[in-house]
Amino acid sequence: MSTKVQVARPTKIELARLKRRLKLATRIQKIVKDRLSILIMEFLDTVKECSSVKQRLLAEFKESYRALSVTTGYHGYAFLEKELLASQMALTIGTATRNVAGVKIPVFETEDTQTPGSSVRNTPGTSSLVDNSTTLSRKCLKTTVDLAELQNSLELLGAEINKVKRINNALEYIVIPGLEATIKYLTMKFEERDREETARLKYVKLLIEQREAYAY
């Protein structure tokens, strides 16, 4: 059962004001519902993309691990560890934002930065296996950044969806029904008052007519 809105003075001016509030609340609810639909669609698309990137990352990790195992078997663990400790993998991550229905979603973009010592050194005794392992590892790192962006987007979108849902539920089940119940109550009250006033005027008119008839 909806709760009526508290009214200080039940007047027709107050009734008109409540009707304007109801009209405004209905318009706001429509906007909120449209925004909620956009957010849910974006959330579902992000979930699908996130699942796809996860599968791709698992495949890349599997491929990278296989390549690293082959490289370790060919060069030996001690040699490979020495090469990796002496090398660096410079990777710059650029950040930006995109707006989705009022929600600022972060965007990560990886940029390769080639600097001296930014890759495994080409020392005598190394082979293309080392370069291949490095390339696959870099690929895994970039995909990990993409996955982090999608998961962060899911968290932000999910939080905003819950917030918008609460607003929509408050409008749909509390604010609008309360305004409608109050407007209905005041309308019936004023109609009853008008009927009583009309009946009272008719009765007064009848008394006046009777007195005038007796006067003659």
Tokens representing 99?
């707006």
The answer to whether the predicted template modeling score (pTM) of the entire model surpasses 0.75 is no
Burial of residue 206, with CB atoms counted within 10 A of its CB: 0-12 exposed, 13-18 middle, 19 or more buried: exposed
Q: Is the pLDDT of residue 114 over 60?
A: no
Q: In terms of pLDDT, which residue wins out, 142 or 78?
A: 142
Domain ranges of the chain: 12-209
Q: Is the pLDDT of residue 196 over 80?
A: yes
Determine the pLDDT at residue 201: 83
Q: How far apart are CA 99 and CA 35, in angstroms?
A: 13
CA distances from 71 to 123, 134, 144 (A): 15, 10, 23
Determine the pLDDT at residue 108: 84
Q: Is the pLDDT of residue 49 over 80?
A: yes
Place of tokens 């990560």: 108
Q: Is the pLDDT of residue 74 over 80?
A: no
Does domain 12-209 fall into CATH 1.10.287.3240? yes
105: alpha, beta or left? (left if phi > 0; alpha if psi -120 to 50): beta
Q: Is the pLDDT of residue 216 over 70?
A: no
| pLDDT, the chain, mean | 82
CB 133 within 8 Å of CB 71? yes
Q: Residue 96's beta-bridge partner residues?
A: 107
Determine the pLDDT at residue 58: 93
Q: How far apart are CA 210 and CA 192, in angstroms?
A: 27
Gyration radius of the chain's alpha carbons: 37
User: What is the rounded average pLDDT of the residues 89-99?
Assistant: 78
Q: Is the pLDDT of residue 117 over 50?
A: no
Determine the pLDDT at residue 125: 54
Q: How far apart are CA 159 and CA 102, in angstroms?
A: 13
pLDDT digits (tens, 9 = 90+) for 123-158: 555 567 777 777 888 888 888 989 999 999 999 999
Q: Which of 54, 47, 45, 44 is nearest to 147 (CA)?
A: 54
Q: Is the pLDDT of residue 26 over 70?
A: yes
